[in-house]
Chain A
Amino acid sequence: MTALAALTGYYLRSAFKSKFAVVFGAVQPLFYLVLFGPLLARSGVGSWDTFVPGVLVQLGLMSSGLVGFGIVFDQRFGVLERLRVTPVARFTLLLGRVLKDAVMLLVQAGAVVVIGYGFGLRAPLAGVLLGLLLITVLSVGLASLSYAAALTIKPELFPALVSTAVIPLMLLSGALLPMSLAPTWLDVVSRFTPFRYAVEALRSLFAGSYASSVVLWGSLVTLGFVAVGCVVGTRVFQRENT
């Protein structure tokens, strides 16, 4: 417990020391929010209440999905190994980082929602808070997988591969435009990506319908995703001689 608190606090201090990193992780979704959102809201295809949930999932992918980049340096400079030779459980070493990422995402997501309200978001507060909870939980799975990928893929390939992989995942989630507009094949493909269910659940929460089957499915898929992410992440952290 001492170790987990110390690790999380340490990573949070380092993250927020550089305000740049907090803003930069959210900069792409913010561009979409500010430069694309107004077009969508006036197009008649979507509204701020359907678009902001999409931006939140996009934020999860772009911010938490790319956190693995930082661990590459820790590995290269011997920091990871120095922590691995202490009695602290490998899972704790992973969790300390992931909790930091979850807090970071929550701050960024909060900012997105506030800006969204400025533009014309009308979602009820309860729905927004539940939505923030869902996206924060999702970020735990994303961050774990990101670290696992960073410790598995060649370090020089990681940024290119992962920043490319998040684009189709984001588009297939229906984050930008609802998948109800999609031709059948695209709709089918999209159902195989976990983030679609999170987007739909968030939209339902933002619309104020909390007990819908969409919310249930979104929560179940997200929890399943987080479980898989944590198992894979812990496995990779336990692996020797990385």
Chain B
Amino acid sequence: MIHVRGLTRSFGAVEAVRGVDVDVSEGEIVGFVGPNGAGKTTTLRMLTTLLRPTAGTAVVAGHDLFTDPAGVRRRIGYVSQNGTVGPFSEVGEELRLQARMYGMSRAEARERVSRLLSELDLEEAGTKLYAHLSGGQKRRVDIAMGLLHSPALLFLDEPTTGLDPQSRANLWDHVRRLREEAGMTVFLTTHYLEEADALCDRVLIIDHGRIVGSGTPAELKAAHGASTLDEVFLTVTGRELREGAAA
């Protein structure tokens, strides 16, 4: 689903991502873990066609990132960490607009949006303003924005940051269901290692723009003689993730 070699991006003299290789198979849930500033979001923005890589090759969802970005966009969903709807906009109307960006007719958009809202336990949210939703509901609306066209591959950037533990667990359930019911491949970034452990089949650890570790949570723990991913992270990068996140 994702085949990337040597993906690189510099901003001026700063190399934010330095030659990243990523392979993700169909139906996998893969977590991309690292402190803030490690290059997670930059990598994600490249894979979703929002940023042009400086070097490397990439095939995403069957389309070449460089020669066919529109083909990539048709088959992926992307949920950024910054929200998707203005505070005083009506959620249902925004979702229907987004659906029409994928070529759906007005009737198809209406039908698709109401089905998606009910799948994500957001039945009452459709007629509400975004600002009037809870944090967990807002995140689910953001995710709905990325699901309208039933993408084969979904990118989630820090989907649970700022959520309470209950909303977080609820969101994990929704992500798992996407894979089970729709066979969707999910690529998500997080700086919660327990999230990566609980939700992801495979974890990639990125630090200073390079992949410094990868494997299933169990493999990573076994390889480093660790009992948690936090310990793995400490061994691999020489520091605590939380520390890195706060810095």
Contacts and interface: CB of A to CB of B under 8 A. Distances in A.
Nearest to A92: B101
A86 B80 CA distance: 13
B51 interface: yes
Interface string A83-98: 1111110000000000
Contacts of A240: 50-52
A135 B49 CA distance: 37
Interface in B43-60: 45, 48-52
B102 interface: yes
Contact of A86 (B45, B73, B105): B73
Nearest to B45: A241
> Chain A interface secondary structure, helix, strand, loop or mixed?
helix
Task: Identify the interface centre among B49, B97, B104: most chain A CB within 10 Å of its CB.
Answer: B97
A78 B52 contact: no
A73 B86 CA distance: 7
A2 interface: yes
A85 B105 contact: no
Contact of B51 (A7, A10, A73, A241): A241
B102 A79 contact: no
A218 to B, nearest CB: 37
A88 B149 CA distance: 13
A77 B83 contact: yes
B80 A81 contact: yes
A121 to B, nearest CB: 39
A83 B101 contact: yes
Given A2-B103, A3-B103, A240-B52, A86 B83 contact: no
A78 B51 contact: no
B22 interface: no
A232 B83 CA distance: 28
Contacts of B84: 77-79, 81-82
B101 A88 contact: yes
Interface in A105-131: none
Which interface class (under 10, 10 to 19, 20 to 34, 35 or more) fits A? 20 to 34
Contact of B85 (A10, A77, A84, A86): A77
Contacts of A86: 73, 98, 101-102
B16 to A, nearest CB: 11
Contacts of B64: none
A6 B107 CA distance: 12
A10 B89 CA distance: 11
B78 interface: yes
Contact of B83 (A2, A3, A7, A78): A78
Given A85-B73, A87-B70, A88-B101, 15 more contacts: A2-B105, A3-B100, A6-B101, A10-B97, A74-B86, A78-B80, A79-B89, A82-B84, A82-B98, A84-B50, A85-B76, A86-B101, A87-B101, A240-B50, A241-B51
Contacts of B74: 87
Interface string B153-181: 00000000000000000000000000000
Contact of B50 (A73, A74, A79, A81): A81
A241 B44 CA distance: 12
Nearest to B70: A87
Interface string B3-16: 00000000000000
Nearest to B48: A85
Interface string B103-130: 1111000000000000000000000000
Given A2-B103, A3-B100, A82 B145 contact: yes
